[in-house]
Amino acid sequence: MTDDLITVLNKVQKPARYVGGEYNQIIKDKKDIDVRVAFCFPDTYEIGMSNLGMSILYKTMNSLPFIWCERVFAPWGDMYREMKERQLPLYGLESGDPLGNFDVIAFSVGYEMAYTTVLDMLDMSGIPYRREERNDLKNLVVAGGTISLNPAPMADFIDVFFVGEGEELDNEFLAIYKDAKDKGLGKDEFLKKASRIRGVYVPALYDIEYNEDMTIKRFLPKEDAPFPVRKRVIEDLDSVPFPTDPIVPNTEVVHDRISLELFRGCFRGCRFCQAGFTYRPIRMKDSETLRRQGIEAVNSTGHNEITLLSLSTSDYCELENLCDGLLKFCEERSVGLSLPSLRVDNFSIDLMEKVQKVRKSGLTFAVEGGSQRLRDAINKNVTEEEVMNSCRIAFEGGWNTIKLYYMLGLPTETDEDIRGIAEMSDKVQYTWRTYTRNRKRGLKVTVSTSCFIPKPHTPFQWEKQVGMDEYLRKVNILRDSIKAKSVTYNWHDAETSIVEGILSRGDFRIGKVIESVFKKGGRLEAWFEYFDLNRWLEALDENGLSLDFYLFRDRAYDEVLPWDIIDVGVLKGFLINENRKAHRNELTGDCGERCLGCGAFTLTEGGYCYGKEKAALSKDR
């Protein structure tokens, strides 16, 4: 560590974030290494170190003997200023070496608001952020995560996008990178080779033709590049390595615990949910594998909490089995087990009583829509009766804090639907009064709303987003109709939603906007301290682009969408059909009951989808 860095670290808040050295970090001898990877997370250490994907792929890449993969996070404002002032470049936490020394700069990007931080991290390292300005094979910039679901906005900056799950793809890519480096191949030649790997999208290999209205006319692949680029998935989750010895941070991070992933994909098909459509097909992990990995991970880290992750915990096929298997171990070792995104029914209340030794925390329901009609339109397969039934069970069980989540601005929503949210919270209060065991303790209901953002690869990808004024009008309707004393209403501001909306469904021209915002000082914009809507509006204006084009128009089914270059496995016809059904308020239902033929099963070699198998079984019965 240089004297300058030591001086800086003595001045900034929480310097532990910037020094590495944690238990289980991977140190290798540079002599044995052919390819060095800087694995960058465009947010703070506390956020990045809580990310399971990051933890998995760190171990995956380091399992190759010729690779050394190190972690890099974005410094907080005080550290950023000090580093800029002393011209200290961004460095890998393991070696302390500047990013410029690395062969591959790999970004894991999970949300749109991190895009400017990607540019910033490259800039802090003295690496040109525009891909055309990087001519060598060295410092190749790659990215994966949800950024690849619509790569268009970031296509000016990223050399290679990884589409889908990385456990196999990343290492296949690194193997051919090593080969190219050994042979002294140039960047262009290497990119051509890389584009042959399934799941790799190389933006340099495509031209784009526009219509007069600046919608896309067509993509023109060059050099036999694939079109579309098909998402990679892991066929058998039990067979890929899972890090049971993850890094144990030396300082507090957002999630200080062991995460076990139960399954990938989701049966539910809520029409607004990007994860629900893009993580398909459904693949379960074996409960015995999970139990073993959970125990191993606790032993090797010393953590005292395990959390079970998935899009819908209750849908895990062996939940009871797994919990029983883990419970004995957890009790002996005073390890807590937490089950987020659990549907509330008698079974789950029993389960929670068993596993959660801690105080009864609040229960959260994602209801999403305020009327049955609207919930049908978004295919949120939840009835008011079910919610009230869950509340009753919870109140009888002694809970007295309930959180209800909704979205405002969903397609087909009317003012009546919004008032329905208030009515529903009244009913929750009534249910509590009827069933609580202890009225003296009082009830606390929190209603939260966020602004709906249409996302690529969902049935709502063609819909318009509501503007800030309209969102606030809706917020006011709801605020005025909530009368119950025990109800608190929180709403997320719509400013970030506007920017998230532009970036989610942005095209290849949005790169210029991201660049302008970065130049105006945009970084770490997922943090309200650093977010500024005006920068974005100015940047759009300077580049002759409008919110109307990106947010406030209906797209036709036959419009070529910027993300059509990516095939997540779900057929477009399926999405169109789902969109039509939404406008007819028609439910589609759960794909564990009847396979709906979304097409995602074709992503696996064996044509496997757990939902499809389960549906076939229940039909036989």
Partner 1 sequence: MEKKRLRFQKTGNIAFISHLDLMHTFSRAFSRAGLALKYSEGFNPRPVMSSPFPLSVGQESLCEILDITLKNDIPDNEIKQMLLNKLPEGIKITDVYDQTVKSSLAKWIGVQFRLKYKQVPDKCENRIRALFDREEIVISKRTKSGALSDTDIKGNALFKSFEQSEDACLLNTYLSASEPTVNPVSVISAFEKYDPELVPAYYTITRTELYDRDLNIFR
Instruction: By CB under 8 A, name the binding residues for partner 1.
Output: 1, 3, 6-7, 9-10, 14-16, 18-23, 25, 248, 250-252, 299-304, 333
Structure tokens at 364: 């959260």
Three-state DSSP state, 105: strand
Question: Of 251 and 543, which CB lies nearer to partner 1 in the complex structure?
Answer: 251
Cβ nearer to partner 1, comparing 1 with 556: 1
Distance CA 368, CA 376 (A): 11
CB of 25 to partner 1, least distance (A): 8
DSSP 277-325: HHSPSPEEPPHHHHHHHHHHHHHHH--SEEEEESS-GGG-TTHHHHHHH
* Shortest distance (Å) from residue 418 CB to partner 1: 42
DSSP designation for 18: G
Nearest-5° Cα angle at 612, 608 to 614: 115
Q: Is the Cβ–Cβ distance between 89 and 7 less than 8 Å? A: no
Q: How far is the CB of 16 from partner 1 (least distance, A)?
A: 4
3-state DSSP call for residue 109? coil
C-alpha to C-alpha distance for 543 and 214, rounded to whole angstroms:
13
Q: Would you say 78 or 288 has its CB closer to partner 1?
A: 78
Q: CA 106, CA 121: separation in Å to the nearest integer?
A: 11
Exposure of 269 by Cβ count < 10 A (0-12 exposed, 13-18 middle, 19+ buried)? buried
Q: Which two tokens stand for residue 439?
A: 């009225």
Roughly what angle, to the nearest 10 degrees, separates helices 319-332 and 346-355?
Answer: 20
Nearer to partner 1, 91 or 279 (CB): 91
What is the closest distance, in whole angstroms, from the C-beta atom of residue 100 to partner 1 in the complex?
21
Are 50 and 303 spatial neighbours (Cβ–Cβ below 8 Å)? Answer: no
Whichever of 259 and 278 has its CB closer to partner 1, that residue is: 259
Question: Is residue 249 reached through a cis peptide bond, with omega within 30 degrees of 0 on the bond before it?
Answer: no
Q: What is the CA radius of gyration of the chain?
A: 25
Q: How far is the CB of 546 from partner 1 (least distance, A)?
A: 47
CB distance 350 to 320 below 8 Å: no
Q: How far is the CB of 43 from partner 1 (least distance, A)?
A: 20
Nearest residue to 595 via CA among 605, 579, 606, 607 = 607
Contact by Cβ (8 Å): 530, 192? no
Sign of CA dihedral 248, 279, 408, 391: negative
Smaller CB distance to partner 1: residue 307 or 312? Answer: 307
Q: Which amino acid is at 413?
A: E
Give me the least distance between CB of 199 and partner 1, in Å please. Answer: 36
**Closer residue to partner 1, CB minimum distance, 284 or 298:** 298
Provide the minimum distance between the beta carbon of 26 and partner 1 in the complex, in angstroms, as a whole number: 12
Nearer to partner 1, 299 or 434 (CB): 299
Cα distance between residue 320 and residue 350, in whole Å: 11
Residue where the block lists tokens 């249409």: 454
User: Closer to partner 1 at the Cβ: 7 or 414?
Assistant: 7
Least separation in angstroms between CB 439 and partner 1:
25
Question: For residues 298 and 615, which CB has a smaller minimum distance to partner 1 in the complex?
Answer: 298
Residue 464 has phi, psi (to 5 degrees) of -90, 155
Distance, CA of 611 to CA of 619 (rounded, Å): 12
366 CB-near residues (< 8 Å, 6+ apart): 405
Name the packing angle between helices 384-396 and 346-355 (round to 10°): 40
- Spatial CA neighbour of 431 closest among 460, 464, 392, 463: 392
Q: What's the closest the beta carbon of residue 589 comes to partner 1, in angstroms?
A: 45
154 or 335, CB closer to partner 1? Answer: 335
Closest contact distance (angstroms) between CB of 569 and partner 1 is: 40
Q: 134: which 2 tokens? A: 């990087």
Name the minimum Å distance from CB 234 to partner 1. Answer: 29
**How is 460-489 classified by DSSP, letter by letter?**
TTTSPPP-HHHHHHHHHHHHHH---TTEEE
Nearest distance in Å: CB 17, partner 1:
9
Q: How far is the CB of 21 from partner 1 (least distance, A)?
A: 5
Alpha-carbon torsion 420, 415, 536, 528, what sign?
Answer: negative
